Amino acid sequence: MATCPKCHYVRAVHDGHLHPGICPACGIAYEKWRAQKIVQPVEDVFFEEGFIEEEGEGGISLFSRFMEVPERVEPVVFWGRAFTWCALLAWAIYFSSHGVDFEIILGSFLHNINLAFHEFGHVFFAPFGDFMMILGGSLFQVLLPLVLMFVFVFYQQDNFGASVMLWWCGQSFVDVAPYIRDGLYRGLPLVGGGGEESHDWGNLLTMLDAVESAPRYGNISFGIGCMIMFLSLA
C-alpha cells in the first residue's frame, strides 16, 4: 500500500475508490508534492530550521506568500516586467544620486501624483485632531502604496505588482524629504499659494519643538526612501 510522503497516511483497502495518486487523508497529489520539495530546497531549509511554520489547514505561511512566483508567465508580460524593473532601477539610482534636491524630486511627474494623495490625506485624517490633520498629508502618501502592496500580495497574488508598490512607497519618502527639510526655512511654494503659516512640516516641527532638526529629519526620510526603493527591486 502507498504511504503519503507528507502526512504518512497508509492507504487502506477501503480507499480503493479514490485516485491512487491522491492521499485520502490530506488530499495532496503524491508526485506533485515530491516535485515541489525538489524544486524548492531553499524553502525546505527555512522549514527545517524553524524560521517559518509549515502551512496549516487554513492557508500558507506569510513567508510563502511573499516569495511566491507564478508557474508560468507569458513572454510579453515577462519582458514588460523586465523593462519596468530596469526603469525603476534607473529611476532609483537617479533619485538617490542627486540627494535631497527639491528641483529634481519636486520636478518629477511622480510628485504631482503623490501631491493628489497628500492633499487627500489632510482631509482623511482631519477628524483625528489638528496634529494628525497636518501630518496626514505626508502620512497618507507613504501609507497608500503599502496598503496597495498587501492588496497585490494577498488578493491579486501578484508579487511583482507588490514590489512596484513598495518602490512607490520608498519614492514617497523621497518625495517628502525636501518638504521636511524646508520646515526650517518655509521657502517652498505651497499648493493654493498658501503662506508660511500653511507649511505642514514647519508647523509640525514647531509643535514638536524640533524645527532646528528639520534638515536631519529630511535626510532621514530621504535615506529611508532610497533603502526601500532598492529593497523593493531586490
- Model pLDDT, residue 71: 77
126 to 103, 120, 123, 146: CA distances (angstroms): 30, 10, 5, 21
142's grid cell: 507613504
Q: How far apart are CA 166 and CA 228, in angstroms?
A: 7
Average pLDDT over residues 108-129: 93
First-residue to last-residue Cα distance in the chain:
46
- Which tops the pLDDT comparison, 198 or 97? 97
Query: Where does the pLDDT of residue 47 fall: very low under 50, low under 70, confident under 90, or very high at 90 and above?
Result: very low
Average pLDDT over residues 40-51: 45
**23 has pLDDT over 60:** yes
Q: How far apart are CA 34 and CA 3, in angstroms?
A: 13
- Model pLDDT, residue 38: 58
Query: Where does the pLDDT of residue 3 fall: very low under 50, low under 70, confident under 90, or very high at 90 and above?
Result: confident
Average pLDDT over residues 127-152: 95
35-44, 78-87, 204-213: the lowest-pLDDT one: 35-44
Q: Give the contacts of 206 (CB within 8 A, at least 6 positions apart).
A: none
**70 has pLDDT over 70:** yes
pLDDT > 70: what percent of the chain?
85
Q: How far apart are CA 43 and CA 95, in angstroms?
A: 34
Residues 97-109: b if buried by 16+ CB within 10 A, e if exposed: eeebebebbbebe
**59 has pLDDT over 70:** no
pTM beyond cutoff 0.75: no
Query: Where does the pLDDT of residue 42 fall: very low under 50, low under 70, confident under 90, or very high at 90 and above?
Result: very low
Residues 1-16: b if buried by 16+ CB within 10 A, e if exposed: eeebebeeeebeeebe
Nearest partner of 158 among 87, 166, 52, judged by Cα: 166
- Model pLDDT, residue 13: 74
